[in-house]
Every structure is written in structure tokens, then in C-alpha cells.
Amino acid sequence: MNIQSKYIWLNGELVEFEKATLHFLTPALHYGIGVFEGIRCYDTENGPAVFRLKEHVQRLINSSKVIGFQELPYGVPELSEAIRQTVAANEFPECYIRPLIYLADGGWNLTAHTGKPSIGIAVWEWKNYLGEEALAKGIRANIASYTRHHVNVMMTKAKITGNYANSVLAKTESVRLGFDEAILLDPQGYIAECTGENIFLVRNGKVFTPPSAPILEGITRDAIITLSRDLGLEVVETPISRDQLYIADEVFVSGTAAECIALCEIDHRVIGVGKMGPVTQSIQQAFQAAVRGFHPLSAAWLDYVNQVVSQPIQISQTTSVA
């Protein structure tokens, strides 16, 4: 994977890629005190377009609030504009976007509010997160031996960098066992989510997905629910057991990096007929149409990078998140 670009946006300016480095004593590195987003920009007939930019930036600000950062130098409009500028400056027609707000200074007494957060935005080309064939053929997963966060151990609504040690443990285990992805159970033993995706099952023509309290409220999950209902499918949010996945007609996952991918085998049980099913396929097609500008919902969900008049970024402005 080639994580390379021309510029990285750091605290209000575009910095050459090689110069965007951090000091060893950056507290975020030591305690996992940072919040981030994963966003995709798609190549469309009207140029590069960021999928659900406003929702992603709002979730980033919400994550800052959850972790306890009290003041950010930028709000939703400034960060959205910085993201557009970073995409435009790097000249990728299509890319993955990674904003990160991290504890850059102070906070050594294990508090978020006594330190100073910095903000960076990187972009890179990232086509197939779960492998080249995943989109068409689906992937194999297992139930992780690690449990997803209890809602009062780590905050599940925030994309906190430290939360992802749980994902790394689970995914490393799964890949070493020969699977492509891990499915994590919540502390009660119900299906929670995957390491970087939300999960859905299809049974008798209905779509089911776990309730949002113990999981990350995926922006793709929200899009999939909307698109499924638009296709006339009933979508039910309900606790799901491990064996309900085994006997489902179809299982699929959703996430910004992974997009919409079928799970064809779980714990060595074949799901449905062992390949992407018709419901997953129709939802995947609707999703691909939406992100590329060919769906009625594209107008609301796409933010065209080149159509926006760049405003100078207000470096002095502060946004309270407390």
C-alpha cells in the first residue's frame, strides 16, 4: 500500500509530504489520544466529489467532544474547506481522506483538556481495502476471540485512535488464522461490528443490523439503510446472535474504506450460496451509483471539490467542543 501524496495539511497550511513529521514526545503517540475520520473522495463526471463530507466532519467534531478536547481552532466549515483544499492540492481524481486531531502538546497527566490538540489532513490513493476481488466475490470472516468495547470502557461513538488497538488485535488474529476480516461480539455476546465496518444480514428478504448503542454509527451504514429502504427493503435494527449470521441468506459489511462487501463464509460456515447474494448486490449497486453521482441521493451526499470557491482558512477562529 502506497500512502503517498504531495502535501499534508497541518494546522492551517499545506506542508510538503516529507516535511509533515511529528516529534517523538507527541503525547497522542504515547496514550492514543487522538480522533480521526476516514472519508472517500470519488471520481465523478463533475470531478472529484467527497462522499458525505459534512457528516464526517461533524462526527470528527463529535469525537473531539467525547474525548474531552475543549477547544478546536476550526469548526465544520473550516475543516470541510481544508479537506477540499487538500484533495485539490494533491490532484487525485479519487482518494481516501484521513483527518486526525491529536494531542500534540501537554496532557502528560492523562487529561485531554490540559493539552493542545493539533489537526492534520492526509490523502492517498486507496482502492481496495479488503482486496481486489472483495467487491465482486466477497470475503471470509471469523468471530474474534476479542470482545468489542463495553460502552463504558471505551466510547463507541467516537473514532478515538486508542480504540483501534481492539480492532488491530482482532484483525491480526483473523488474518493469521487465514480469514480476511474479524467480526466482534459486544460484551453481552451479540454481534457488534467488524474491525472497520458495520455488519448487516439478509433473511427472507428483510435486512437486519445491530442497534447503534455499542457500535460506531457508520456513515456508510446510514447510507445503506437509506438506500435499502429506497429499494423497498425493510430494515430492522435488532440484537443479532452469532448463529443468526450462520443461517442468514446473505451477510454483508459496510464502511468507508471497505464500501459494501459480502461475507461469504463465517467461522467455516458457508453463508447462503457462498457468494454475493441478490439483495447485497442490489444494495452494492445502489451504493456505487450514489458515490459516483448516478443516484437521486448523490446530489445530497456528494460535495464536489472543484465547484467550491475556496475561502481563506481562519486560523485564529476557535470552536468550542466542550
- Distance, CA of 21 to CA of 123 (rounded, Å): 15
For ligand PLP, which is the closer residue by CB, 38 or 115? 38
Q: How far is the CB of 24 from ligand PLP (least distance, A)?
A: 27
For ligand PLP, which is the closer residue by CB, 27 or 38? 38
Strands 181-185 and 139-143: parallel
- Buried (b) or exposed (e) across 22-43, using 16+ Cβ within 10 A? eeeeebbbeebbbbbbbbbbbe
Query: Phi-psi bin for 189: left (phi > 0), alpha (psi -120 to 50), beta?
Result: left
For ligand PLP, which is the closer residue by CB, 105 or 222? 222
| Interface positions with ligand PLP (CB under 6 A) | 38, 193, 196-198, 216, 218-221, 254-256
Q: Which residues fall within 8 angstroms of residue 181, CB to CB, at 6 or more apart?
A: 130, 139, 140, 141, 171, 174, 194, 195, 197, 253, 263
Choose among 13, 6, 1: nearest CA to 91.
Answer: 6
Choose among 303, 260, 284: nearest CA to 52.
Answer: 303
159 catalytic? Reply is yes
For ligand PLP, which is the closer residue by CB, 186 or 197? 197
Q: For residue 133, give the C-alpha cell.
A: 476481488
Task: Give the active site residue among 19, 54, 116, 159.
Answer: 159
Q: How far is the CB of 173 from ligand PLP (least distance, A)?
A: 16
Q: How far is the CB of 73 from ligand PLP (least distance, A)?
A: 24
Provide the annotated active-site residues: 159
